[in-house]
Structure 1
Amino acid sequence: MDTAVETTGTLAEDDLRRLDAYWRAANYLTVGQIYLLDNPLLREPLRPEHVKPRLLGHWGTSPGLNLLYAHLDRAIVGRDLDAIFVTGPGHGGPAIVANTWLEGTYSELYPSVGQDEAGMARLFRQFSFPGGIPSHVAPEVPGSIHEGGELGYSLMHAYGAAFDNPDLLVACVIGDGEAETGPLAASWLSNVFLNPARDGAVLPILHLNGYKIANPTVLDRLPIDDLRAMMHGYGYQPHVVDLVDPEDPTRGIDPDRAHRILAGTLDTALDEIADIQRRARGGGEVTRPRWPMIVLRSVKGWTGPHEVDGEPVEGTFHAHQVPIAEVRDNPEHLAALDRWLRSYRPEELFDATGAPQPLIAGLPPAGDRRMSANQHANGGTVLRDLVLPDFREYGVAVHEPGRTVVGPTAPTGEWLRDVIAANPDRFRLFGPDEVASNRLGAAFEVTDRAFVGQLRPGDDNLSPDGRVMEVLSEHLCQGWLEGYLLTGRHGVFTSYEAFIHIVDSMVNQHAKWLKTTRQIPWRRPVASLNYLLSSHVWRQDHNGFSHQDPGFIDHVMNKKAEVVRVYLPPDANTLLSTMDHCLRSRHYINVVVAGKQPAPNWLSMPDAIMHCRRGVGIWDWASTDAGEEPDVVLACAGDVPTLETLAAADLLRRRLPDLKVRVVNVVDLMRLQPESEHPHGLPDVEFDSIFTRDKPVIFAYHGYPWLIHRLTYRRRNHENLHVRGYKEEGTTTTPFDMVMLNDLDRFHLVIDVIERVPGLSVRAAHLRQEMFDARQACRDHTRRHGEDSPLVTEWKWAGAQGATPS
């Protein structure tokens, strides 16, 4: 890379000495965590037994992280900034832990790891050690909202943290390996959605140290002018800080000079941010500014061993993980580690007790201004409850089951509209260009889509002040929302069911974060991550097979029971009740699947509320068992399966009036599990009373049928459970043909009953044949007319009267 223009600014000699000492101390503590079991201050000669038997961790990115952390601490003190630090290179865990210990926060939260020699020994021993802490910037690390073990999400998390946090600066370090990922590449566009008048600021710092595990990084090999142009094209004002010796690319420049260059550049960038915010908050028109960003080029493994066994290390990919590997068994390696550790001159950095010297302790800010103690990075401490309008007022009038036809998401959209209006500083709606498509467009009556880019005549509901976050990237929506939630706010992510799979891996990471933080006493619960998935598998008949996939539920169900919930409300009123519950909940991942197309509504609002509270219940009005033991149970979960189940129950009521049928609807999927497996699980005695101990159960389910078997395999009556659901059969067709393709239709459900109720297969053989014929007639009708038969589209629940089209 070409040498950049240096910006040195003014750095007092005291600040220079303090920065240098702090940086050396952080680097020393980082190396100590990777290597040492004992002898933390090297008060005696280093021996093999002082070294860990398993050397784990990553050194290469850590010196650059320590350098940036030190300089940001200086800026926070000098400018009284409210700032947090997002670490994209998650492998830099030991560096961030070192800084939290130097700031004192770590010892405050973990008193056994005090700022003394014994505490330092515990700090070193626990890192990547059984019973200790992970090697990443995990939830255990104070000040962290981003683990970084999976790369690509740091910048979107940073922007999510900055939304509606007008006084917050989010310093986000992006590793050059991470910068090669698709999600990170899209994240640069987030500045188009950041309002300088209302939101905080993000300072992206692209850290180029040249190598990944074994390969060079792409951006480090770009000519500097190309990289500048790239960042400029994304809308940033790039500032390049090149700290690599131009004569030897494996060496860093003189540290004093490096500190002066970085300090001057950081001051320039912070001045630009302050100027942007001052102008935007002065009352003028808010337009997209050119936010500063920093490109920091440093040597990988800077200050580490330059070579080991004649092999170059510093400035190469060999510095990525553990530069000196055979320390216990190789005396030369042990001596090299001893020289490396002593090169930081620990006797100058720590006093006789092992505490940081006053010169070092004086660099970080105090109290909540420390990045490791900032309350925004422990979002539950600043979380405020939402002001929620009474969802009952948005309900659909249901005087008779199924007579009112309304798309379930439309009333919820009206309710969310008023949630947005009542919470203008702590709630946002996120979606990949699908908010209106999913019938939540009522939100645009009170707000717009957030957009600080160029506006043109004819644009629909775009403004810098919008609270609907739409971008055609599920990754960005997920990452923004995670950052928003983890810093103490609330939101809903709405998406097409099939394409929410794009964020499967991100959901994994968030679920792990929630699970881990439940066991950390000082971490406070955050608002739940709420998904409202519409345009679902059974109503994607127009888009076809590519848009048909209900498997996100299966993915979520693999997570720990204490952090996941899945809801399948059957109509508009149950959806309203469910969403109100989800927005009031804390520290969960809530998945709600509901249709947007016009559909029958079954329950009045009082009945819907009670049904949602139960999670699973017998619908007496649809059943014919009259309080007796049924001959068969028709169970359902999901709006379309509920419709088909009720249509099947109606057919059985009219054609086999002596058959005792019980209709059971499931809203909360977790209720199917035993209480030993999930907090929502039904006790066995209650499950048996609903589903019986020995009667056939025909279960019409929204997703892949084997999930229901997995949830119920321990139940007494599992061998009599027969599940119909999606089995990867789909195309562009009609809605009813879609359910027929997967044998979920009403006629097939009746056939299932006839085949599974003892003695019924012979007695009802004529009805069975009629059901087969009805299926064929409906299929022929679609092929002939391009739409579903009136036999299906005109059906209405008629209850005991039985007056239905035939």
Structure 2
Amino acid sequence: MPNQFIDQPNPPPEESNLPNEVLGLAAPANDRKFLSDKERHVVQKFRRAADYLAAAMIFLKQNVLVQEPLKPEDIKPRLLGHWGTCPGLTLVYAHINRLLCIHTELRSMFIVGPGHGAPAILACLWLEESLGHLYPSYTVSRSGLQRLIADFSTPGGFPSHVSAEVPGSIHEGGELGYALSVAFGAVFDKPDMVAFCVIGDGEAETGPTAAAWHGHKYLDPAESGAVIPILHVNGFKISERTIFGCMDNKEIACFFSGLGYQPRFVEDLKCIDDDMASAMEWALGEIRNIQNAARKGNPTPKPRWPVIIMRTPKGWGCPAQLGDNFIEGSFHSHQVPLPSARKNDEQRKLLEEWLKSYGISELIDGDTGRIDSDITSIIPKEVERRIGQVPETYKGYTPLNLPNWMDFTSEKNGNEVSGMQNVGEFLLKVIQNNQSIFRIFSPDELESNKLNVVFKATGRNFQSDQFSRAKGGRVIEILSEHTCQGFMQGYTLTGRTAVFPSYESFLGIVHTMMVQYSKFNKMAQETNWRGPLSSINYIETSTWTRQEHNGFSHQNPSFIGAVLGLKPTYSRVYFPPDANCLLSTLHHCLKSKNYVNLIVASKHPTPIYLSPEDAEAHCRAGATVWKFASTDDGIDPDVVLCAIGTETTFEVVSAAEILRRRVPELRIRVVNVTDLMVLGRNHPHSLDEAGFEGLFTGDKDIIMNYHGYSNDVQGLLFGRKNMERVVVQGYSEEGTTTSPFDMMLRNKVSRYHVCAHAIRSAALQNPKIAVRQQELVSELMHDMEKVKEYIYVHGEDPGDCYDSPKFD
């Protein structure tokens, strides 16, 4: 049955049976006249103007100040934007401005969680002249006002959600749930910064937000800034009540008290401005107390950080009712309250009455677009302190002081080395050189992923742990990939650099977050006022090839395909085959700008194939012929063996050794690809056709042994000439709790499978191989079955499986 309750305007939540004594609840202001009459008058003027502009942006394409009766042609043909959240956002914006004017030492950012609240933010940015500063056609003028309103959410105008084109933003509003973790990431290592973050009560139902509430527990008040979360409870999503909207104040207070916050409610509409001003002053005072104690060497154990709970009606200020439907205070105001205003006379009349109720003619001059001086009086005079012009939100990154990666390499001496351990030594030095602009965000896997050597120079930053508290720390480990990603986004978008190492199988959890970040980055680089960003850097390790002990659930390389799906200009995927190549690749990624970098690496010891100098040349080229593993340096081969990935490379090199020993008449060329993008046709790193044929020949069969899903490579190769000669073998969703080599066998990427493919292909070119094909393949399959039998009898691989192949 339909839920009729949701059609009622903001009914109060049912009272719980909780006791009245709720720990952590901040007392409301005793004096409900916190503001002077002048201050209150000025704040309300700012809010009226911003609310009018937000509503007008959604509806009007001309007659933008309603100086004449509205006609159908004054209304946009498509009405886009979400009014429901706008009045709450303008309320917060106005009071941040007031706080900035009073506390001249305060530096602040505003992170907006409600996705489609752009009308409110753009309205405020226009009033403070930040929009016109960066976009000259949006100046505070009659023409600028016309363009602001008429162009919103039209082709060529600003979109309906907060995005990279919006000044002051560091958060893509297209997908909900990430604002709070981004806000915490933005204030790490920014001791003077306070980020205000509005989280909608619909957004607060998401898993990423649920984990992000714990962000303050990773915030050392001695070295970092603070976040003031503002939960906006207006009761409704698109067409359903919200969880927080159905919770009474006692329940909410208990919830946040348990999370380590001290909550304070702002909800009395009769004195909402006094309550909000008082709450913000209180929150800032609590933060200063926590920070001052920590910075004087006497940190507060488990400080209770402030959180503000703001209750306002959904769509506050719009018409109360349309026909039999409530609008204000119901889900009907979530998006466009009067959706047929262009065609329906009743709705158009209601719209005109609504817009005129703001008295906009008293606030903005209809002839010049000039703004009333009371409104401008609460806008910070220093432009870099205005929300839309905070330098951290757009200036770009500070390059790292990187050590020489060759100082951490290994010699090609037959030893096997864990690339991740070498990377740990390298990152240790990176941390020492960059104490306030570099961090590692890891989902509780740093030691497992062999990076624990960094703890020689730093610690974990976990303020709830008595042994880690008040010691800083460049490493943040939280078992929430969403929160790690949000922290990294906020940290990177405010000018710093981060690394996100993770188990391969679980990076897919942040797939959509990574895509949203990439979209933000793309649009940011298409503005003419945002500086370059450090790339975001994923190290995908604990890969399926060596997750045999954890079973099928831990065997999943799908994140590779997610990165490959991004716009080629902004995506990079690397498969360094050994420890030296891994160091070269990571050094390159930490220097790079504006990319999503994915490095797929093994944490287990593997052979060193290339000297440091050869590794540098190999990584620079992206793919090379490995002469040492080929016959006659790879000249005139019968077949090309291509290796992509650490363990799959080992199998190809092992296959080459078997073929050289057993089938000396077979001529092979071994190619290793470390930069996956060289295989494509429409990527900045792509090989041209001459370069591709130089590596792979123009007509010989190519056997590709690939770490990920074969479709990844097949998609990259699509459109190249004569690709029917290519066989791509990769992970094929076969796995269990077994041995490492059995994983190779199950997915048909073992040395035996490579050898068999090579013999069958070479037989088409080489008659000496053709006459022995059946004999050779049968022998290989027999050997493979013997290995399988050994594994299932003994529960481990034969001892010679991982001996390094020998070459002359």
* TM, length-normalised to structure 2: 0.94
1:347 aligns with 2:361: yes
- The match for 1:220 is 245
Pick the aligned partner of 1:57 from 81, 86, 106: 81
Pick the aligned partner of 2:656 from 649, 656, 664: 649
SS at match of 2:116: helix
SS at match of 2:309: strand
Aligned sequence identity (%): 45
- The match for 1:767 is 776
Which structure 2 residues correspond to residues 118-129 of structure 1 after superposition, within 5 A?
A: 118-129=143-154
> Distance between the aligned counterparts of 1:550 and 1:85, measured in 2?
36
> Distance between the aligned counterparts of 1:594 and 1:505, measured in 2?
22
- The match for 1:74 is 98
Report if the CA contact (8 A) 1:195-1:286 is conserved.
no
Deviations 1:265-294 (A, max 9, x none): 211111111121111111224633111110
Amino acid at match of 2:199: I
1:183–1:482 Cα change, 3 Å: same
Pick the aligned partner of 1:15 from 22, 39, 44: 39
> Distance between the aligned counterparts of 1:761 and 1:46, measured in 2?
84
> Distance between the aligned counterparts of 2:399 and 2:293, measured in 1?
32
- The match for 2:589 is 582
Amino acid at match of 2:390: N
SS at match of 1:71: helix
Deviation at 1:463? 5.6
Greater mean deviation of Cα atoms: 27-36 or 281-290: 281-290
1:363 aligns with 2:378: yes
Deviation at 1:672? 0.3
- The match for 1:799 is 807
Report if the CA contact (8 A) 1:435-1:494 is conserved.
yes
Deviation at 1:171? 0.2
Deviation at 1:168? 0.3
Deviations 1:410-431 (A, max 9, x none): 0000100111111110100111
Report if the CA contact (8 A) 1:535-1:596 is conserved.
yes
Deviations 1:109-135 (A, max 9, x none): 111122112111111122111122210
> Distance between the aligned counterparts of 2:418 and 2:619, measured in 1?
19
- The match for 2:443 is 432
- The match for 2:178 is 153
Deviation at 1:462? 6.7
- The match for 1:246 is none
- The match for 2:139 is 114
- The match for 1:247 is none
Amino acid at match of 1:496: Y
Greater mean deviation of Cα atoms: 556-565 or 304-313: 304-313
Report if the CA contact (8 A) 1:30-1:95 is conserved.
yes
Deviation at 1:374? 0.5
- The match for 2:61 is 37
SS at match of 2:231: strand
> Distance between the aligned counterparts of 1:74 and 1:492, measured in 2?
37
SS at match of 2:46: helix
Deviation at 1:464? 4.0
Deviations 1:593-635 (A, max 9, x none): 1000111111110100110000011111111144632111000
Deviations 1:185-231 (A, max 9, x none): 11111111111111001000011011111111111211211110110
Report if the CA contact (8 A) 1:573-1:604 is conserved.
yes
Deviation at 1:764? 3.2
- The match for 1:405 is 416
Pick the aligned partner of 1:600 from 599, 607, 614: 607
Structure 2: state its 5+ residue gaps: 1-11, 16-25
Report if the CA contact (8 A) 2:756-2:780 is conserved.
yes
Which structure 2 residues correspond to residues 115-264 of structure 1 after superposition, within 5 A?
A: 115-243=140-268, 253-254=269-270, 257-264=271-278
SS at match of 1:135: coil
- The match for 1:560 is 567
- The match for 1:248 is none
- The match for 1:326 is 340
SS at match of 1:406: strand
> Distance between the aligned counterparts of 2:757 and 2:603, measured in 1?
29
Report if the CA contact (8 A) 1:448-1:462 is conserved.
no
Report if the CA contact (8 A) 2:83-2:315 is conserved.
yes
Pick the aligned partner of 1:779 from 781, 788, 796: 788
Deviations 1:491-546 (A, max 9, x none): 10000000111111101101111111121111111111100111001010111111
> Distance between the aligned counterparts of 1:307 and 1:764, measured in 2?
82
Amino acid at match of 1:378: Y
- The match for 1:621 is 628
1:755 aligns with 2:782: no
- The match for 1:740 is 745
Greater mean deviation of Cα atoms: 369-378 or 282-291: 282-291
Pick the aligned partner of 1:539 from 546, 551, 570: 546
Report if the CA contact (8 A) 2:172-2:517 is conserved.
no
1:572–1:188 Cα change, 3 Å: same
- The match for 2:18 is none
Report if the CA contact (8 A) 1:92-1:137 is conserved.
yes
> Distance between the aligned counterparts of 1:436 and 1:565, measured in 2?
26
Report if the CA contact (8 A) 2:197-2:227 is conserved.
yes
Greater mean deviation of Cα atoms: 530-539 or 118-127: 118-127
Report if the CA contact (8 A) 1:692-1:717 is conserved.
no
Greater mean deviation of Cα atoms: 640-649 or 779-788: 779-788
Report if the CA contact (8 A) 1:41-1:117 is conserved.
no
Deviation at 1:331? 1.5
1:727 aligns with 2:732: yes
Amino acid at match of 1:390: N
Deviations 1:328-354 (A, max 9, x none): 211121111111111100111112301
1:692 aligns with 2:706: no
Deviation at 1:379? 4.9
Which structure 2 residues correspond to residues 384-533 of structure 1 after superposition, within 5 A?
A: 384-399=398-413, 403-455=414-466, 464-533=471-540
Report if the CA contact (8 A) 1:23-1:67 is conserved.
yes
Report if the CA contact (8 A) 1:448-1:463 is conserved.
no
Report if the CA contact (8 A) 2:28-2:264 is conserved.
no
SS at match of 1:450: coil
1:45–1:157 Cα change, 3 Å: same
Amino acid at match of 1:104: E
SS at match of 1:90: coil
> Distance between the aligned counterparts of 1:474 and 1:6, measured in 2?
37
Deviation at 1:17? 1.2
- The match for 2:19 is none
Report if the CA contact (8 A) 1:9-1:265 is conserved.
no
Which structure 2 residues correspond to residues 92-111 of structure 1 after superposition, within 5 A?
A: 92-111=117-136
> Distance between the aligned counterparts of 1:93 and 1:483, measured in 2?
19
Amino acid at match of 2:626: W
Q: CA RMSD in A?
A: 1.4
Report if the CA contact (8 A) 2:34-2:275 is conserved.
no
Number of matched pairs: 777
Amino acid at match of 1:146: H
1:708 aligns with 2:719: no
Report if the CA contact (8 A) 1:688-1:716 is conserved.
no
Deviations 1:121-157 (A, max 9, x none): 1111221111222100011110001122211111100
Deviation at 1:790? 2.7
- The match for 2:6 is none
1:672 aligns with 2:679: yes
SS at match of 1:170: strand
> Distance between the aligned counterparts of 1:762 and 1:786, measured in 2?
38
Amino acid at match of 1:562: T
- The match for 2:8 is none
